[in-house]
Structure 1
Amino acid sequence: MNLILETPRLLLRPLDLSDAEALFEMNKNPNVHKYLWQKPEVVIDESIKVIEYVQRQYAENKIGRFATILKETGEFIGWTGIKFVNDHVENGNTNFYDYGYRLNVKFWNKGYATEASKAWLDFGFFQMNIKEMNAYTHSENGASNHVLKRVGFNFMEDYSDKDGVIWKWWQISKQSQ
């Protein structure tokens, strides 16, 4: 996949195996997993498998999560992007476009998630012609819930997963853009 998106401060490009070390550095941090599934990575091979999985998504679905790079320094700050969910059911849904992001802790609270989100929504709605996107966040993840609301997602409902954890289901449509 050769797509590259740019924002004023960020470069959004396909994940590559050369990102494995930086991805692992982020994914092994328990703080990054606080509102995920509480399973930080313990070996770099887990990050390599994530990258290989995302690269299969690029081939099969023509989209997936992208490396998010700080232009000023060239640092990998995390991943952002659109994913076509067709490999599991989430809140009773499958075969839908999901927007998501994960950033390394040292890049939190700097507006990068909002900046990347706006670029991805624009790309998804006006380049890919997606009609509707969803997102889901841990109910207690105030920062992510705030970002989604700020960029135009509408809160639809709370739902619980198989372990009883409460998540928030968000949605945004092209019509609202």
Structure 2
Amino acid sequence: MKFHLETERLLLREFRITDVEGMFELDSNPKVHKYLGKKTIKTKEEAKRMIEFILKQYKENGIGRFAVIEKSSGNFIGWSGLKLNKGTKESLNGFQDFIDIGYRFIPKYWKKGYGLETAIACLEYGFKTMNLDTIYGAAEIGNIGSNKILQKIGLQFVNEFKEGNKLVNWYELKKENYGK
């Protein structure tokens, strides 16, 4: 799968095995996992397996998260994109076989608007290029930044649900409401 999407400041592209250092920096950081179950990775081998899983999603599902590169520095800063959650293993809020939008960045790149910038681009790609009917999003209630991004890009709050011992907000946007 070849994927290339650009925003004013960022490049979104398919993951490569060479992104292992950046993926390790991202997912070994406890700050990044504060609202993700605090399950940081401990080794670069784990980061490599995560990338291999994403590459497998591209082949099997035609979509997956994408590496985000800062144009000005050329640095890997995290990931963003759409993902097909399928089967009971990946069910969430009673849903399975759904597309969600997500983003995750290395903390030194937080508060620069990159999450919003990539989410807008991914939403457009999902509705205009992939012709999706509905895109979902979820964010722990305490994750103010992520909730704000989902709301700013037009996803509508549907309900609150429990995931483990955490409360999570569930959002959706239907194609007919996109851009309104």
Tell me which residue corresponds to 2:168.
Answer: 167
Which of 83, 87, 112 does residue 110 from structure 1 map onto?
112
Tell me which residue corresponds to 2:58.
Answer: 58
Superposition pairs of residues 27-38 of structure 1, within 5 angstroms: 27-38=27-38
CA distance in 2, matches of 1:24, 1:13: 18
Tell me which residue corresponds to 2:70.
Answer: 70
Q: What letter matches 1:126 in structure 2?
A: K
RMSD: 0.8
CA distance in 2, matches of 1:68, 1:172: 23
SS in 2 for 1:54: helix
CA apart distance, 1:58: 0.1
CA distance in 1, matches of 2:10, 2:177: 25
CA distance in 1, matches of 2:98, 2:29: 29
- Tell me the TM-score normalised to structure 2 length: 0.96
CA distance in 2, matches of 1:175, 1:137: 23
Tell me which residue corresponds to 1:95.
Answer: 97
Tell me which residue corresponds to 2:177.
Answer: 176
SS in 2 for 1:114: helix
Q: Deviations over 1:114-156 (max 9, x none)?
A: 1101100111000000010001111100010011111111111
Q: What letter matches 2:143 in structure 1?
A: N
Could you list the runs of 5+ residues in structure 2 that have no partner in the other structure?
A: none
Q: What letter matches 1:107 in structure 2?
A: Y
Which of 130, 135, 144 does residue 128 from structure 1 map onto?
130
Q: State the identity as a percent.
A: 39
SS in 2 for 1:130: coil
Q: Deviations over 1:93-132 (max 9, x none)?
A: 0001110010110011100011101100111000000010
CA distance in 1, matches of 2:5, 2:35: 27
CA distance in 2, matches of 1:132, 1:169: 13
SS in 1 for 2:45: helix
Q: What letter matches 1:12 in structure 2?
A: L
Tell me which residue corresponds to 1:152.
Answer: 154
CA apart distance, 1:164: 2.1
Aligned residues: 176
